[in-house]
Structure 1
Amino acid sequence: MTAQPPHFYDFSLEPHFATTMQGPVAAMWQQREEGKFTGVDQRQIGWLGLTGHNSDKVIVVINGRIESYWKYQEVFYDLVRQGYDVFAIDHRGQGVSERIANDTELGHVEEFDHYVEDFTTFMNDVVLPRGYQQHFMLAHSMGGTVGSLYLEQHPQVFTNAVLSAPMHGINLTQWMKPIASPLARVVEQLQRQPDYAPGQVPYYPKPFADNKLSQSEIRYQWFRELYEQKPELKIGGPSARWVWQGMAAAKRCVQHAYQIQVPVLLLQGSDDTIVDNSAHDVFHRAINQAGGQCEIKVIHGARHELLFEQDKFRTPVLAAALNHFKKAETIQE
């Protein structure tokens, strides 16, 4: 048995987006399982499960900064239609999980490792007890940072992993790179309580024409409307502490990449202005030089949110991810 070619997959498409979301996606969403567990510092962390599709294979989705699993309904629909159970987590301080700062729209974390520790608890207490034979990771942006650190620390849990535009570095101008982290530390020390990093503000629904995330207007507008319907999901800019914590964690991902033992597919948007694509090359090289397997697939013309892009970008992204998972299934068979 060989992995199926990309055209084998039947994904949700933009011309039918409204009908798909209001029909089969809404029906799937009614069958979701939701729960909470206690994470670091007794914070309540929310999770979702879509089960009953496969008792042997599960895809665990780790979303990015400011995101929630509520945003991923179309993605989940495409995954369960391919015969996978799906689980997802909302990071502390965002989504349906408990906030860390008094300002509920501030993207804040005390220690970046808390994200990883929460995810470890999620795997140990929620996902692994279900008894799946194969566990696949699909992690996006900041979720890719969390996922990379988890893979480095727990090399035997996942069968393989797909990292979508992982935050292995933040895209900064050359002159800002050496001073961004020290500047954020100084700003944090001057703040009496957690507050926004310089230039950052509370949640603001940036118009589609000005956004750097996606070129799919229908998907972008749906996500913004979702946050208006569920304002508790809104998260704005990061805190000064999050900035230097995030930069340090991204650097650790690359430094310890040699510890990753499972096959990794790294998906990169050529027009991504959010993360530092050059850091992906260093990450990729470190894994392969240590005897591991890491492949980079560049989606030419795509922006940061590969899973929410126009069909011409999103379809090959999902096809590549599923082909990567199916390679592992073929090997096991």
Structure 2
Amino acid sequence: MTAQPLHYFDFSQEDRYAETMSGPVAEMWKQRQEGTFKGVDDLNIGWVSLTGYNHDKAIIVVNGRIESYWKYQELFYDLVKQGYDVYAIDHRGQGISDRLAKDNELGHVEEFDDYVTDLKTFFDTVVTPKKYQQHFLLGHSMGGTISTLFLAKYPSLIKRAVLSAPMHGIQLSNWMKPIASPFARVVEQLQRQPNYAPGQVPYYPKPFLNNKLCQSQIRYQWFRDLYEHKPALKIGGPSARWVWQGMAAANRCITQAANIATPILLIQGSDDNIVDNQAHHRFCQAMNQANRSCELKTINGARHELLFEKDAYRNTVLAATFSHLNQDNSTPST
């Protein structure tokens, strides 16, 4: 079945942002369900759901490093308006979930695959019992890495997936690329306990001017204000262990791409200074060479936070996302 064309005015817009966030988004957020489950090593992992909008299809949003599902209320609103039940978790070590270090603002993980295992536990214990016919996935940045590894390990669970600026590689200078991972390993060994990687610091609210994330000042200020209102959500720089674990996981995304059966739409911003856009090309090439479906879409002028960008970019991202998710929507997933 061919999806109906989407109009940009169907999505939340900047010129009505304050009204939308304090009105219909706030009303929707009041209807959320929240809970926790036990992840790897018995950590408490927080989750949220917005249900009752569609009995047949659900979408799982997998957020990025330092993020919380609290940040994605506007996106959830747009997903709900398009008829999806929405699910999301806060990864171990961030958001409302249990931390892994004495410094609560340190972005740390012991094993990157623990993120993937937690996501599978969430899928099995919270989402699957609802008996949806179709499950979809939307992963951003580090959440794109987690989603990719999840899809490679469990190829029959998700009908279609969208990866927003996935961390299939971290943008580094050419001289730094070959030494970044081994250097981080050495630093970790020298540290007596988990600590920040060189050059990384606790959370601080970077000013909008010259930020690398997005060009929508109203959206950027909203999520910075959110972290001030809910300081427990704050996460700063990554630990040395997170750095080399993250880089290894990014590499595995490409080497395991052929294992993915789910059709993928990968969206990147041409002006992204956080992740390595060239790695996206290698990932899609690896999928396509294995006769898998991976479409790469570049949003010219957009930065890393594609789902928090100016309307001129975000509208295009959302239209492409829903167009991809809605393809062949008459056929249930396995």
TM value normalised by structure 1: 0.99
1:191 aligns with 191
* Alpha-carbon RMSD: 1.1
The C-alpha deviation readout for 1:57-101, integer Å capped at 9, x for no partner, is: 111000000000000000000000111100001000000100000
CA distance in 1, matches of 2:98, 2:4: 41
Cα drift, residue 262 of structure 1: 1.0
**CA contact 1:2–1:330 (8 Å) conserved in 2:** no
Cα drift, residue 153 of structure 1: 0.3
CA distance in 2, matches of 1:203, 1:245: 21
Q: Trace 1:316-327 onto structure 2 (pairs within 5 A).
A: 316-327=316-327
The C-alpha deviation readout for 1:264-308, integer Å capped at 9, x for no partner, is: 000000000000000000100011110110000100000000000
CA distance in 2, matches of 1:163, 1:9: 23
**CA contact 1:159–1:328 (8 Å) conserved in 2:** no
**CA contact 1:60–1:136 (8 Å) conserved in 2:** yes
Letter in 2 for 1:21: M
Matched residue of 1:288: which SS?
helix
The C-alpha deviation readout for 1:228-258, integer Å capped at 9, x for no partner, is: 0000000000000000000000000001100
**CA contact 2:3–2:327 (8 Å) conserved in 1:** yes
1:230 aligns with 230
2:156 aligns with 156
CA distance in 1, matches of 2:64, 2:22: 25
CA distance in 2, matches of 1:187, 1:63: 27
CA distance in 1, matches of 2:145, 2:107: 16
Cα drift, residue 6 of structure 1: 3.5
CA distance in 2, matches of 1:328, 1:49: 25
Matched residue of 1:327: which SS?
coil
1:253 paired with 2:248, answer no
Matched residue of 1:116: which SS?
helix
Cα drift, residue 3 of structure 1: 1.7
Cα drift, residue 8 of structure 1: 6.6
Letter in 2 for 1:306: L
1:243 aligns with 243
1:278 paired with 2:271, answer no
What's the % identity of the aligned pairs? Answer: 68
**CA contact 2:8–2:315 (8 Å) conserved in 1:** no
Matched residue of 1:210: which SS?
coil
CA distance in 1, matches of 2:183, 2:211: 26
Cα drift, residue 2 of structure 1: 1.6
1:62 aligns with 62
Letter in 2 for 1:274: I
Cα drift, residue 129 of structure 1: 1.1
CA distance in 1, matches of 2:207, 2:59: 32
Letter in 1 for 2:180: A
CA distance in 1, matches of 2:185, 2:46: 29
TM value normalised by structure 2: 0.98
Cα drift, residue 319 of structure 1: 0.8
CA distance in 2, matches of 1:232, 1:85: 27
2:215 aligns with 215
1:81 aligns with 81
CA distance in 2, matches of 1:242, 1:9: 40
CA distance in 1, matches of 2:68, 2:31: 18
Structure 1, unmatched stretches of 5+, are: none
CA distance in 1, matches of 2:243, 2:129: 35
CA distance in 1, matches of 2:63, 2:11: 20
Q: Trace 1:257-268 onto structure 2 (pairs within 5 A).
A: 257-268=257-268
Letter in 1 for 2:251: K
Matched residue of 2:7: which SS?
helix
The C-alpha deviation readout for 1:161-201, integer Å capped at 9, x for no partner, is: 00000000000000000000000000000000000000000
CA distance in 1, matches of 2:26, 2:7: 25
Cα drift, residue 331 of structure 1: 5.0
Paired residues, number? 333
**CA contact 1:160–1:328 (8 Å) conserved in 2:** no
CA distance in 2, matches of 1:193, 1:8: 49
Matched residue of 2:54: which SS?
coil
1:167 aligns with 167
Matched residue of 2:225: which SS?
helix
CA distance in 1, matches of 2:213, 2:276: 14
**CA contact 2:59–2:137 (8 Å) conserved in 1:** yes
1:33 paired with 2:33, answer yes
